Amino acid sequence: MAGRRYAGVRTLIEPGSLATSGANVVDSDALVLHFPSPKTVTGEDVLELHVHGGPATVKAVLSAIRKCASPARIRYAEPGEFTRRAFINGRLDLAQVEALGDTLAAETEHQRRAAIRGNSGILGKTYDGWREQLLLARGEIEALIDFSEDQHFDESPTELLSNVKSLVKGILHSVELHKLGSRRSELLRNGIRIALLGPPNAGKSSLMNQIVGREASIVSDEAGTTRDIVEASLDIRGYLCSFADTAGIRTKAAETISQLGETPTSAIGAVEEEGIRRARQKALDSDVIIVLASVEGAKLGGFQIGYDVETLRLAAGAQQCLIAVNKADVVSPDTLRSLIDHFKASALANIDGLSSVEPLIISCKAAAKPATKGSTDPGGVHELTEKLAKSFSDLTSLPSDMQHLLGVTERQNQLLSECERHLEDFMAEAQSTGPYDEPDVVLAAEHLRLAALRLAFITGRGQSGDVEEVLGVIFEKYRPPHLTQPRGMEC
């Protein structure tokens, strides 16, 4: 079987059983697969046993394996040992190892897709490519430092650094794109944060329960029922989301643009005030804000849309926002259209960033009832969910030729930021300020070394230093006269 893969159906017998009470057949038709190194998952010889039956058969096979004659001790693999061996033997780089971990931890479809893209090996090859470019550039600079007195160089330090600057500028642009990919992939890994805002009794808890599909919040007609933030994690169209129902926001100065009902508004207590403070902070920390307004009876008769100015301003500053008007079932379609037009003209048009937003019309009461024949979206909550999924896509999508950047992890992003800082330091050092001001080539080379080292940390290559590689570049490119003789054997 040496040197080639092998597959066969074999009978597995417990070692030593033939010499005692007869053959103890563990599995009569096991599939045996042999994969010779180095083209295996770990880079070492791999033997796979595919057996039949349940846990008892597997347990018997594992017990029999330990009794096999072997020059080395047979033991169970340590947690992650196969992955560690694959890394040591060059079958995986650290970026791929991280992607493998993300694949195992993926809970949603888009998390799985991002992890698969990170496991393609493109990221590791890209970082190794940048590192090799910086290595070559550093080799040229250090050759200038070491051999400038022995040889004549056609380029001055300023000219040489000018050529390297164009290379570094390109890498800096690429680093920025990878950091963008990291920010978007973090949303997929950690979940997109959604804050549900609006005045008291607008129906926020009812809407959250409709979306989440369970009684996550207390639903009551009493204004300000939700005093604290109620959160739920859920999968919406393959996106992991953290959905937060917050306390109804109102101010002591009664800035809520509504006079709801005939009963005077109750004073804001200390507990409700703390809930409002947390709601504001949750909105500032969120990626998507849903602002809920509602159709309410006006104090002087008729109907109006109750909303809160502060929540609208918070939504205008969010990365993505949706405006929804609840309780659409309490008025006729014509009246509702008139109320919506007035809401857009008197409220949304006066807030920067919201003038072109089209409010979604929903009814949590209608959505809670069984769907009638011919009705596919009672209450409009399904449409709101689709709009949410569209906003998630806008937050996390990348062009087709940049999809692999969704595999960039937070660790890689931190190292890329450090690499970027060293490259910017190089650009500043290489900038000549006058005809008699020569840049410090020694310091410039050091900045390149530190930048390349950060890239090595990402893939796990060259962490112990790259002195020999730099010397190799110097000797191959310039070959000073006293070093051109063939090297002899070292004893």
Give the pLDDT of residue 266: 56
pLDDT in tens, 342-377: 999 999 999 999 999 999 999 998 888 876 666 678
Count other Cβ atoms within 10 Å, centred on residue 452: 26
Coil vs helix vs strand at 100 = helix
Give the pLDDT of residue 142: 82
pLDDT in tens, 92-151: 888 888 888 888 888 899 999 999 988 888 999 999 999 999 998 988 888 777 665 555
Asked if 47 and 31 touch (Cβ cutoff 8 Å), the reply is no
Asked if 417 and 425 touch (Cβ cutoff 8 Å), the reply is no
Sheet holding 46-50, edge to edge: 6-13, 25-35, 46-50
Coil vs helix vs strand at 221 = coil
More confident residue, 64 or 376: 64
- Give the C-alpha separation, 125 to 128, whole Å: 5
Q: Supply the DSSP string of 175-218, one letter for each residue.
A: HHHHHHHHHHHHHHHH-EEEEEE-STTSSHHHHHHHHHSS--S-
Rounded to whole angstroms, what are the CA distances from 354 to 65, 311, 347?
Answer: 68, 12, 9
pLDDT in tens, 144-198: 776 655 555 556 667 778 888 989 999 999 999 999 999 999 999 999 999 888 8
Any bridge partners for residue 257, and if so which? 307
Give the pLDDT of residue 245: 77
Asked which of 54-68, 69-83, 243-257, 320-334 is least confident by mean pLDDT, the reply is 243-257
399 pLDDT higher than 70? yes
Q: Which two tokens stand for residue 176?
A: 């920025």
Average pLDDT, the chain: 81
Rounded to whole angstroms, what are the CA distances from 457 to 202, 279, 399?
Answer: 52, 40, 27
Taking Cα atoms as reference points, which of 464, 437, 444 lies closest to residue 453?
A: 464
Count other Cβ atoms within 10 Å, centred on residue 180: 15
Average pLDDT over residues 239-248: 78
Taking Cα atoms as reference points, which of 226, 259, 158, 208 lies closest to residue 367?
A: 208
Give the pLDDT of residue 401: 87
Q: Which two tokens stand for residue 278?
A: 């947390």
Q: Which two tokens stand for residue 101?
A: 């971990």
33 pLDDT higher than 80? yes
Coil vs helix vs strand at 242 = strand
Give the pLDDT of residue 439: 78
Average pLDDT over residues 480-491: 36
Using a pLDDT cut of 90, give the percent of the chain over it. 37
Average pLDDT over residues 219-236: 62
Give the pLDDT of residue 149: 55
483 pLDDT higher than 70? no
pLDDT in tens, 255-301: 444 444 444 455 555 665 666 667 777 778 889 999 999 999 887 78
Phi and psi at 325, nearest 5°, equal -115, 115
Average pLDDT over residues 436-448: 84
Q: Supply the DSSP string of 250-270, one letter for each residue.
A: --TT--SB--BSSSPPPPP-H
**Dihedral sign for Cα atoms in the order 474, 478, 483, 488:** positive
- Give the C-alpha separation, 57 to 12, whole Å: 11
Pairing of strands 360-361, 192-197: unpaired
- Give the C-alpha separation, 172 to 115, whole Å: 25
Give the pLDDT of residue 274: 65
Give the pLDDT of residue 218: 43
Coil vs helix vs strand at 54 = coil
463 pLDDT higher than 70? no
210 pLDDT higher than 90? no
Write a three-state SS string for 113-174.
HHHHHHCCCHHHHHHHHHHHHHHHHHHHHHHHHHHCCCCCCCCCHHHHHHHHHHHHHHHHHH
Give the pLDDT of residue 490: 34
Rounded to whole angstroms, what are the CA distances from 65 to 45, 82, 131, 436?
Answer: 16, 18, 45, 75
Question: Which residues, 6 or more positions from 327, have their beta carbon under 8 angstroms from its beta carbon?
Answer: 203, 294, 295, 296, 363, 364, 365
Average pLDDT over residues 242-249: 71
Phi and psi at 161, nearest 5°, equal -65, -30
- Give the C-alpha separation, 449 to 274, whole Å: 51
Q: Please work out, in degrees rounded to the nearest 5, the angle formed at the alpha carbon of residue 321 by the alpha carbons of 217 and 309.
A: 80
More confident residue, 482 or 34: 34
